[in-house]
Structure formats: structure tokens, C-alpha cells
Amino acid sequence: MSFTGLRTYEGRVCETYKEACQLRGLLETDEHWNKTLEEAAASRSPKILRNLFAVMIKTCSMSSPEQLWLNHKENLSEDILNEARIQHQNMDLDYCDIIFNRALIDIEDKIILLGGSDLKSFGLPQPNRNRDSVLPSEELTESNYDTDVLTAYIEENEPKMVQDQKEAFEKITRAVFDRLGGIFFWMLLVAREDFSNQSSSG
């Protein structure tokens, strides 16, 4: 059997031999570690939970640390979210990549203190350390829009636009999607004036 054959399971070529062994059921699952994190989350703070997760990553032979992170990332980040809500006086903020990134940085720092290396070497997402340590309010706000609500609003109101509003809307959205940039203040004034006239006449 070739090396590629060893990485093949039911016609699928796996990226690693470990993945192929997991699919064949030759490795233990992470259910024990999953339950450990679930039980700890019920009685311990997120900070302690991150410490525990870091120790598990560094010292325990887990099959899929990334899946454990995906299963528990909200519990591991809860205090960071609460801090952001208080800092920005916005209790509507929800979990987002910025929050999770902060948690990953904290976990990676703890692993390095234990003599380990970066998260990527353990099969986990590599945190972005170029972000500011202070959670930026504008970026948090932009990351917390409810896209379903916005989509429904557009679908409901776009047909109601007058011609000038449609032209402004189409030009602005095209510039955004094509990353063209530009200043559209005058277009917004025209659209607002048309909308006001339309409302008063109605």
C-alpha cells in the first residue's frame, strides 16, 4: 500500500495520517475532554476555563483541539464579551471574531508560558496579534449587525425608492462591493430630500 493509500479512507484522501486514523476509529475521541470543559464551564470562570484548556492542549493528547475550541469558544470568551459590553455601554454586543481572537491570544500566551508554542502547531486557529488590545467600538459595532434584519429591511424598502434614491443606493452599494471608495454626502442629501417630500405628500 502506498503512503497516499494510508491517508485514504472510503475514497477520500485525508490531509494527515492522524485524520485518516480518526476516520477509521483507531484513535480515542475527545468526548472525555469535551465533558471536562462542560463541567468546568458550569462552575468556573472563563479565565480559569482558558487556563484549563491551555493545560489540556499542552499536556494532553487530544484528537481534535480545534473541534473542542469550536464547541466551547463562547464559554471560553464569555468574560471578554461582558467586558466589551460594559466598556462600550452596549449590552447588545454579541460574540464575534474580535472577541474570540482575544480569547485565543490569552490561551496561546498561557501555552507559551507552559513551554509550548503557537496555537497553529496544535491545529488551532492562529490569533491575530495585530489587532489592538483594546476592543475598538466601531469594529465591534460593525461585527454585530444582524444581517438577516438588514436584508429584510432592504427587501421591503428598496421597491419603495424613487428614481434618485435608487441611483444613489446602487452607486453606493456598487462602490462598497467593488471597494472603490468615494464621498456620497450629496447623494444622501438628495435621497433624504426626496424621501421627505414623498412622505409629506403622502
Spatial separation of the C-alpha atoms in residues 165 and 167, rounded to whole Å: 5
Q: What is the pLDDT of residue 161?
A: 79
Q: What is the mean pLDDT of residues 170-178?
A: 72
On whether both 63 and 134 belong to a single domain, the answer is: yes
Query: Can you give the residue range of the structural domain that contains 149?
Result: 145-201
Same domain, 149 and 183: yes
Asked if 56 contacts 33 with a C-beta cutoff of 8 angstroms, the reply is yes
Residues 152 and 128 in one domain: no
pLDDT in tens, 40-75: 999 999 999 999 999 999 988 788 899 999 999 999
What is the domain count for the chain? 2
Instruction: Report how far residue 81's alpha carbon sits from residue 93's, in angstroms, rounded to the nearest whole number.
Output: 8
* Residue 174 or residue 100, greater confidence: 100
Q: CA-to-CA distance for 95 and 168, rounded, in angstroms?
A: 33
pLDDT, tens digit, 9 for 90 and up, residues 78-88: 999 999 999 88
Q: What is the mean pLDDT of the chain?
A: 78
Residues 100, 179, single domain; the answer is no
34 with 130, same domain: the answer is: yes
Whole-angstrom Cα distance, residue 76 to residue 105? 12
**Is the pLDDT higher at 136 or at 92?**
92
CA angle 47, 49, 52 (to 5 degrees): 115
Q: What is the pTM of this model?
A: 0.58
Residue 54 C-beta-side C-alpha neighbours within 13 Å: 23
